[in-house]
Structure 1
Amino acid sequence: MKNQHLYLSAAIAVALAASPLFAVAQTAASRNPALADINTTEAPRVTQTVDSRAVSTLQRSHLAVVDQTAVTGSMADNAPMNHMHLVLKRSASRQAALDALIAAQHDPSSAKFHQWVTPEQFGDTFGVLDADVAATVSWLQSQGFTVHGVYPNKMQIDFSGTAGTVKRAFHTQMNRYTLNKTSHVANASDISIPSALQNVVVGVAGLNDIHPQPQHVAPRVARFDASSGKFKLTKPTVSAAAGVSPEAIGFTNGARGLVPYDMAKIYAVDQLRSSGLTGSGITIAVVEDNSMVPADWTNFVSQFNLGSYGGTFTQSQPQATGFTNCIDPNIANPGEDDGETLLDAEWSTAMAPGAHIWVASCDDSNSNNFFGGVFTAATNLINGASRPNIISASYGYGEGFTDAPSKTAIDLMWAQADAEGISVFVSSGDSGSNPSFNGGLINSVGIDANAFGTSPNDTVVGGTDTADVLDGTTKKYFAATYNSVYGSALSYVPEIPWNQSCGNEVAAKSLGFASSLAFCKQYLKLDPQGYYLTSEAGSGGPSSVDSKPAWQRQVHNAAKDQSRDVPDVSLFAGSYGGDTYVIVCTAAYPCQPGFTGLISLSGGTSLSSPMFAGIQALIDQGLAAKGLSPNQGNAAPTLYALAADEYGGAKGNPPASLANCSADNGTKGTGKCVFHNITRGSIATQCVQQPPGIVTPDCYFYGSLPASSYGPLQVGLTSTNASKYNINTEAFAAEPGWSFASGLGSVNAQNLFNAWKAFVNVK
């Protein structure tokens, strides 16, 4: 039929209402008191004939970075594009109702406090109307796509096709590009859809394959030296260059390997554990795009004597309702062991040894969604019948490398998790003021924030470093010998932001330099080949997409911007000079009594996030024992409310506790504090520009390397002002109160639990 592209939405809705595709459970709002007074009744918004000849362009539906990137080839029309997501748009009135509900769910004075919803209730109340979903599905099918299903939230449609189908339906070419030295596919331009659907469609998440990076440092293999109590790395991180001074590269006397006992002691988790709070009854899901050998977790628990707490472990692939879009990453390589997954599973257990750890892993290759298997695992969990109490996501990429539909899909997902009571923790990133360059050098995009974490409905965890080595106070905070579970920490250890570059102010002054800039200039002379250039540091920065939530404005020194700023809190991630790591038990390097064999050392904000998830599990168990919900939803609103009491509000003079709770005061000074306020150091790192090439913004250039291992380079430090560099412009310095370097700082878990109980009015 020559008019087959014309569809009447009303007729489609009636015809498809009884289809099994739309057999999503309808849950009456009256079954949940939180929804009883919410009226989101509305008329269908697809009111015109869906005509594929009358189209509208969806702005920012392609990656802006490809506009400045050369095309290396086009995708063949028959190339498969699997499990894309058509992201839907709720009405303004439903969005306002959802925002109001979530605010009430976090308000202890509200009757809706902790009245969480199910995925079906969420979809019925805040999703897109069935008639509008039906019209959209029908159009996709008419274009030749296979529609696998609609999620219970009624905000996502999972569908597959080919590059040719995408080109014809969405009016864009799928091309190949090289970004950050890696080949990727992406749509060359913004997509177009029938104008009749533009009120209910945001766009397609899945038209590029720039999957998120795991936020951990490259694992190091080491051998324990009993005489020194340190781990000797079996291989140097780079080949030493002639003339490179050891002073410039940090410490060479071996690495310290922290264990669960140490972290429990440093963050007062041991105090909660002694009162019976171990995370029992709480499920922590770590979302991954790769799997691990389950026996590694058992080995970790055994090595560090955590088995008596009763924790359990599951690894599985969560599926969407009614269709399969998550496959085991280890199908192709059975027994493969992923360093990121190991770190997440083992170190969430280190903090909450009584919790159930659920490794939810989906392979990237089965999904063209931007965040790949990680997104698939997370969204399937949130829309599933069996949901975790807590999710930890240790992956990320900057907003500058994220298209608008993918970013919207992420934010929609975390808002749904929050409304369901799931606490979500996301790593801030591992490359200073731009999280997109983990393991590399910031070289093309300026200040940015992790797109996976800048939603106002999750909590972003940054990275710290213990300051004892640089301060020369190790004997004060660590015992000379290990105890029976290989621990040596004596108490809380003062912290600084994790920063492995010469931009580390504390390291610069420890080595006798007046400033990090002076240190970096000397570094350049000592390292003429650029072997030790790095952007490795905990990440932080303002969102360019999400606006600042009200709860983030209420604490002393909150950034005076309109952006959702990250991180929110921080925990240990790594150290300057590679002096301190955490121990991970792997299949290749299993933990053995006495560490008689080779061992794997790791770190990064991929460590920080699951550790905070473990602390949240202890709080959840403790509150459940008081008769409250074992779910707390997004932790950030409560954390900022508690921080305002300790640091002071956005206006007025701060209380004495702001200074008293400085991390530099150590245990004696911060013993009564909820937060350890980190006020020294920064996450400003090295950044480079390779002439001729793309200009690197937000970089203060202080020198050049005419013949480095990378070729000719201009070398700088990340700065909010490219023409000058000082403590006011470096990106970013730690400050009293909140800062981009470490958020609110780290926590005393015991004091946090007590303050949380008071906040929710229980004794």
Structure 2
Amino acid sequence: MKTEHVMIALSIAAALATLPSITQASASNQALAGINTAEAPRVTQTVDNRVTSSLSNTHLAFVSHTTPTAAVDDAMPMNHMQLILRPSASRAVALQALIAAQHDPSSAKFHQWITPEEFGTTFGVVDGDIAAVKSWLIAQGFTVNGVYPNKTQIDFSGTAGQVRQAFHTQENRYVVNHENHVANAGDISVPAALSGVIVGVAGLNDFRPQPLHKAQVAQFDHGKNKFMIKPSSTAGTPGHLAVNFVGGSRGLAPYDMQTIYNTSSLYTSGLTGTGINIAVVEDADMDVTDWPNFVSTFGLGGYGGTFKQYQPQLTPTTGNCTDPGGATPDEESLETVLDSEYSTAMAPGANIWVATCSDLDSNNFFGGVYTAADNLINNSSAAGRPNIISASYGYGEGFTDSASKTAIDLMWAQADAEGISVFVSSGDSGSNPSFNGSIINGVGIDANSFATSPNDTAVGGTDTADVLDGTTSKYFNSSYNAVYGSAKSYVPELTWNESCGNVLAAQKLVGLSALQFCKNALIYDPYGEYVTSESGSGGPSSVDAKPSWQRIVYGAPKDQSRDLPDVSLFGGSYGGYTWAILCSGAYPCTPNFVDPVYLIGGTSLSAPMFAGIQALIDQGLSQAGLSANQGNAAPTLYELARNEYGAPTGKSPSTLAGCNSSNGTSGTSKCVFHNITTGGNSTQCIQIAEFAQTTPDCYFYGTIQNFLQAYGPTKVGLTATSTSKYNANTAAFSAGPGWSFANGLGSVNAGNLLSAWKKFVNAP
């Protein structure tokens, strides 16, 4: 052991000796002028494997309360782990100062974007420290596949035995929610000399966030002019539709989305997203015939949009992105289909890049989705980096280890500094995004860790209010046009919420409060088969601090957290009445829908649609002589919302009330935002006695004696910030004037958004 220690120390010393002691950032780019981040390496002591430091929160906390089924064999390969490096505090501050200036129209650095290499040299970890860490990894027997240009991550591979010896943590097998998983049992430790520059390792567990959508197969009934959802055997499972509207369901086409959010007015002036590249990042392929089928069916072929599906690589390649497969009709990912088609629905002239990487190549928490985004952002060629990224996956911060969360935040900050606009779905299960398709239990309020970075824009979900309001004939024609659309105009919206916590449904259907509606449901649903948490998500981050731009608008909570969502678009409907139409390989769209199709919803629909709207904004600004890249959209969106909703204090402008979504077409035609004040995303939550665990942030209103006829006595409640009372102030969370956890700033009128954006950036 003594000899091994000496050899490690000598190899690292040799690596350090070949490097300058000070690293000076390049100032060739105007954005970096005046920024001096020169610093000496922080690894100054001999690296001794016998002197270690534990890195906190580098394992999943809930694993500590789960009994492993077995230890992982030492020989198990662990490929393409990411060692996440920690830039110095001064460099982190300098980065945030630059990004703020890049979004400030009065700054000389406004829209002066940087490259991945400039990011790494100026804001990453200095070369001497990287060399020290690389040498140590190699000395432990790992293969270093490459250092990313951002100089904040090292891609490396090895075995479970090497991980155990080097990082002092055991990889175990666990069964969680009836699924087999691998995870490290405890926090990792590294040599104390390196602990100041290492955050942790992303890739020590295989828990994966799920795509944020919900789909049903439906057959169009020409006699009823509705889609009839095909029944499926769901007995003994939660989440049945609380109310099945008679007469079928409505399928929204691209024409409807374009009409409701007023992108169609921009097409007439030639703004269709032409020249703008939208990347949707995925971990599975789609049937490439779907997209042209969608474009042809809905009359989008004349706009010149393009499509490609590929695996983004680094130069030189690390080999961490291979084809995940699934390009056949029976294997394709509906998530990938949805993202590609509905970004096109809003920006029919844009170039759609379907960037896919296999989860099997990347052990990091977000798998192929993270790798695809990361490789795009770090592409050495400007032509290989998109203008916009849409990511429709998520999991709560409470289920994300610190290394993975840091890696996500660093990635989105880099994208922002490069001018890439990132849109992330906020989630599909109310105040905790980790329960799409199931019910919140065992945990409390949380937010999507993929979206809580201050450098991306989180998109929540809305529902059209016409069905519950009984105003469908006012906003929709009774028959479809040539491209299967029927919307007449903007339609009032409420928060998408499929549970009995939907306040508008409770009021309109039975004349009760949501709480009483839920209590009454226990009589008709004795086994809890209709209990659900399905809803657009929102909530405060427990990791990321509130950015300054999120404090400036009416309704912003007075907390210190990055709060979600930022904006919202259509995500789904109460009772499963309204969906978006999808053209898939298994169910392609046929003329007049003589064959079945998928109907789909979720914030996985909302995020790519907003990405499409951003493409229209980008093209419009480019035609005005400005950069086609806008970086994170959120800072500008909040500035524009302050003009419409007012500041957190002081007298509110008349437009706060005038732009209320409930006004519909009356008075909102000049608004940038539709302020959604109806509903909320307080959904059902449960506490199963058999599991001997508590569910915080849940107001329990009753008990199901044998939940799903299998789990025995189970408390059922509504998500709330109080466990002793439930009302509009304690529901988690209610919609309201200005910003809210239910829908952020609300939805947008794309035509008015472009006009206001151009004015904000002083575009002609």
Give the shorter-chain TM-score range: over 0.9
Letter in 2 for 1:268: N
Q: 1:391-437: CA deviations, max 9, x gaps? A: 00000000000011110000000000000000000000000000000
Letter in 2 for 1:377: A
Task: Work out the CA distance in 2 between the residues paired with 1:435 and 1:248.
Answer: 20
1:16 Cα offset (Å): 6.7
Q: Secondary structure in 1 aligned to 2:558?
A: coil
Structure 1 window deviating more from structure 2 (63-72 vs 435-444): it is 63-72
1:328 to 2:323 alignment = yes
Q: Secondary structure in 2 aligned to 1:601?
A: strand
CA separation of 1:389 and 1:460: change in aligned 2, threshold 3 A: same
8 A contact 1:12–1:135 mirrored in 2: no
Task: Work out the CA distance in 1 between the residues paired with 2:705 and 2:584.
Answer: 41
Q: 1:633-664: CA deviations, max 9, x gaps? A: 00000000000000001111211100000000
Letter in 2 for 1:216: H
- Other-structure match for 1:280: 274
- Other-structure match for 2:298: 304
Task: Work out the CA distance in 2 between the residues paired with 1:248 and 1:91.
Answer: 52
- Other-structure match for 1:705: 704
1:508 alignment partner, one of 506, 509, 522: 506
Root mean square deviation, CA, Å:
1.8
1:239 Cα offset (Å): 4.2
Task: Work out the CA distance in 2 between the residues paired with 1:504 and 1:10.
Answer: 61
Q: Secondary structure in 2 aligned to 1:715?
A: strand
Q: 5 Å matches for 1:440-455?
A: 440-455=438-453
Structure 1 window deviating more from structure 2 (655-664 vs 528-537): it is 528-537
8 A contact 2:24–2:37 mirrored in 1: no
Task: Work out the CA distance in 1 between the residues paired with 2:680 and 2:310.
Answer: 39
CA separation of 1:110 and 1:248: change in aligned 2, threshold 3 A: closer
Structure 1 window deviating more from structure 2 (144-153 vs 9-18): it is 9-18
1:185 to 2:182 alignment = yes
- Other-structure match for 2:76: 79
2:365 alignment partner, one of 367, 370, 381: 370
- Other-structure match for 1:221: 217
- Other-structure match for 1:200: 197
- Other-structure match for 1:488: 486
1:495 Cα offset (Å): 0.2
- Other-structure match for 2:378: 383
Letter in 1 for 2:360: S
Task: Work out the CA distance in 1 between the residues paired with 2:195 and 2:420.
Answer: 31
Letter in 1 for 2:698: C
Q: 1:321-363: CA deviations, max 9, x gaps? A: 3221101111797973110000000000000000000000011
Task: Work out the CA distance in 2 between the residues paired with 1:565 and 1:247.
Answer: 29
- Other-structure match for 2:256: 262
Q: Secondary structure in 1 aligned to 2:461?
A: strand
8 A contact 1:300–1:584 mirrored in 2: yes
Q: Secondary structure in 2 aligned to 1:235?
A: coil
8 A contact 2:81–2:157 mirrored in 1: yes
Q: 5 Å matches for 1:553-564?
A: 553-564=551-562
- Other-structure match for 2:727: 726
- Other-structure match for 2:625: 627
Task: Work out the CA distance in 2 between the residues paired with 1:749 and 1:450.
Answer: 26
1:512 Cα offset (Å): 2.0
1:14 Cα offset (Å): 4.6
CA separation of 1:736 and 1:555: change in aligned 2, threshold 3 A: same
Task: Work out the CA distance in 2 between the residues paired with 1:504 and 1:332.
Answer: 38
Q: Secondary structure in 1 aligned to 2:629?
A: coil
1:248 Cα offset (Å): 4.9
8 A contact 1:249–1:532 mirrored in 2: no
- Other-structure match for 2:582: 584
Letter in 1 for 2:299: N
8 A contact 2:116–2:149 mirrored in 1: yes
8 A contact 1:9–1:46 mirrored in 2: no
- Other-structure match for 1:23: none
Letter in 1 for 2:763: V
Letter in 1 for 2:118: Q
Task: Work out the CA distance in 1 between the residues paired with 2:327 and 2:172.
Answer: 27
- Other-structure match for 1:22: none
- Other-structure match for 2:538: 540
Task: Work out the CA distance in 2 between the residues paired with 1:355 and 1:319.
Answer: 22
Task: Work out the CA distance in 2 between the residues paired with 1:229 and 1:252.
Answer: 13
1:644 alignment partner, one of 627, 642, 645: 642
Q: Secondary structure in 2 aligned to 1:30?
A: coil
Under a length normalisation based on structure 2, what TM-score does the superposition of the two structures give?
0.96
Task: Work out the CA distance in 2 between the residues paired with 1:76 and 1:395.
Answer: 31
Q: 1:529-571: CA deviations, max 9, x gaps? A: 2111110000000000000000000000101100000000000
Task: Work out the CA distance in 2 between the residues paired with 1:565 and 1:78.
Answer: 43
1:90 to 2:91 alignment = no
Unaligned runs of 5+ in 2: none
- Other-structure match for 1:603: 601
CA separation of 1:513 and 1:238: change in aligned 2, threshold 3 A: farther
Task: Work out the CA distance in 2 between the residues paired with 1:381 and 1:351.
Answer: 22
Q: 5 Å matches for 1:122-271?
A: 122-217=119-214, 219-236=215-232, 238-239=234-235, 248-271=242-265
Task: Work out the CA distance in 1 between the residues paired with 2:571 and 2:494.
Answer: 11
Q: Secondary structure in 2 aligned to 1:272?
A: helix
CA separation of 1:8 and 1:48: change in aligned 2, threshold 3 A: farther
1:236 Cα offset (Å): 4.2
8 A contact 1:250–1:576 mirrored in 2: no
Q: 1:459-493: CA deviations, max 9, x gaps? A: 00000000000000000000011111000000000
Task: Work out the CA distance in 1 between the residues paired with 2:16 and 2:615.
Answer: 46
2:655 alignment partner, one of 641, 654, 657: 657
8 A contact 2:144–2:157 mirrored in 1: yes
- Other-structure match for 1:43: 40
1:12 alignment partner, one of 8, 11, 14: 14
Q: Secondary structure in 2 aligned to 1:711?
A: coil
Structure 1 window deviating more from structure 2 (107-116 vs 519-528): it is 519-528
CA separation of 1:3 and 1:508: change in aligned 2, threshold 3 A: same
Letter in 1 for 2:739: W
Q: 1:233-271: CA deviations, max 9, x gaps? A: 111473499xx9x99524132110000000000000001
Letter in 2 for 1:725: Y
Q: Secondary structure in 2 aligned to 1:350?
A: helix
8 A contact 1:222–1:234 mirrored in 2: yes
8 A contact 2:213–2:600 mirrored in 1: yes
CA separation of 1:592 and 1:331: change in aligned 2, threshold 3 A: closer
Letter in 1 for 2:51: A
Q: 1:145-191: CA deviations, max 9, x gaps? A: 11100000000000011111100000011112222332211111110
Q: Secondary structure in 2 aligned to 1:594?
A: helix
Q: Secondary structure in 1 aligned to 2:580?
A: strand
- Other-structure match for 1:472: 470
CA separation of 1:446 and 1:420: change in aligned 2, threshold 3 A: same
8 A contact 2:280–2:340 mirrored in 1: yes
CA separation of 1:345 and 1:40: change in aligned 2, threshold 3 A: same
Task: Work out the CA distance in 1 between the residues paired with 2:327 and 2:102.
Answer: 43
1:101 to 2:102 alignment = no
Task: Work out the CA distance in 1 between the residues paired with 2:329 and 2:687.
Answer: 41
Letter in 2 for 1:353: P
2:351 alignment partner, one of 350, 353, 356: 356
Letter in 2 for 1:433: S
Task: Work out the CA distance in 1 between the residues paired with 2:330 and 2:134.
Answer: 39
Unaligned runs of 5+ in 1: 19-25
- Other-structure match for 2:757: 756
